[in-house]
Chains A and B, each alone.
Chain A
Amino acid sequence: MPVKSYSRPKPPEQSRLTDRLASEWAEQTEAAEPVILEETTRDGIVHVFVVWSDWASLTREQRGEIIMDAAERVKSKDQLLKITIAMGLTPDEADRFGITWR
Chain B
Amino acid sequence: MPLRAFVKANPETLSDFLLAADDRYREAEELLLAEEYDGCVYLLGYAAEMWLKKSAITLDGGRPNAVVKDALAKLQDKMSTAVPPIAKRDWHDLSYFVECVLRLRDDAGKPLPLDFERELRQQISDGLDVDWAVAMRYRRCALKGPDAWKALGNAWWMKTNWTRLII
Name the A residues within 8 Å of B67 (CB-CB). 61
Name the B residues within 8 Å of A86 (CB-CB). 15, 63-65
Specify the main secondary structure of chain A where it touches its partner: mixed
Check A67–B163 contact: CB distance below 8 A.
Answer: no
Check B15–A87 contact: CB distance below 8 A.
Answer: yes
Specify the main secondary structure of chain B where it touches its partner: helix
Q: Cβ of B11 < 8 Å from any Cβ of A?
A: yes
Name the A residues within 8 Å of B54 (CB-CB). 84
Q: Cβ of A26 < 8 Å from any Cβ of B?
A: no
Q: Which chain B residues numbered 6 to 22 have a C-beta less than 8 Å away from chain A?
A: 9-11, 13-16, 18-19
- In the bound complex, CA of A61 to CA of B64 (Å): 9
Range of interface residues on B (Cβ < 8 Å): 10 to 19
Question: What residue of chain B has the Cβ atom nearest to residue A49's Cβ?
Answer: B15
Check A59–B15 contact: CB distance below 8 A.
Answer: no
Name the B residues within 8 Å of A43 (CB-CB). 163
| Interchain CB contact (< 8 A) of A64 among B9, B64, B163 | B64
Q: Cβ of A22 < 8 Å from any Cβ of B?
A: no
Name the B residues within 8 Å of A68 (CB-CB). 63-65
Q: Which of A65, A68, A83, A85 has the most CB of B within 10 A?
A: A85
Check A64–B10 contact: CB distance below 8 A.
Answer: no
Name the A residues within 8 Å of B15 (CB-CB). 60, 64, 84-87
Check A60–B64 contact: CB distance below 8 A.
Answer: no
| Interchain CB contact (< 8 A) of B19 among A67, A83, A85 | A85
How distant is A31 from chain B, measured CB to nearest CB, in Å?
23
Q: Which chain A residues numbered 2 to 37 have a C-beta less than 8 Å away from chain B?
A: none
Known: A83-B64, A86-B64, A86-B65. A61 touches B163 (CB 8 A): no
Check A84–B9 contact: CB distance below 8 A.
Answer: no
Residues of B whose CB lies within 8 Å of any CB of A are 9-11, 13-16, 18-19, 54, 58, 63-65, 67, 163
Other A-B pairs, 6, CB within 8 Å; known A61-B67, A84-B64, A84-B163:
A43-B163, A45-B163, A64-B63, A84-B18, A85-B18, A85-B64
- What are 13 pairs between A and B in contact, CB < 8 Å? A45-B163, A60-B13, A60-B16, A61-B13, A63-B65, A64-B63, A67-B65, A68-B63, A84-B14, A84-B15, A85-B15, A85-B64, A86-B63
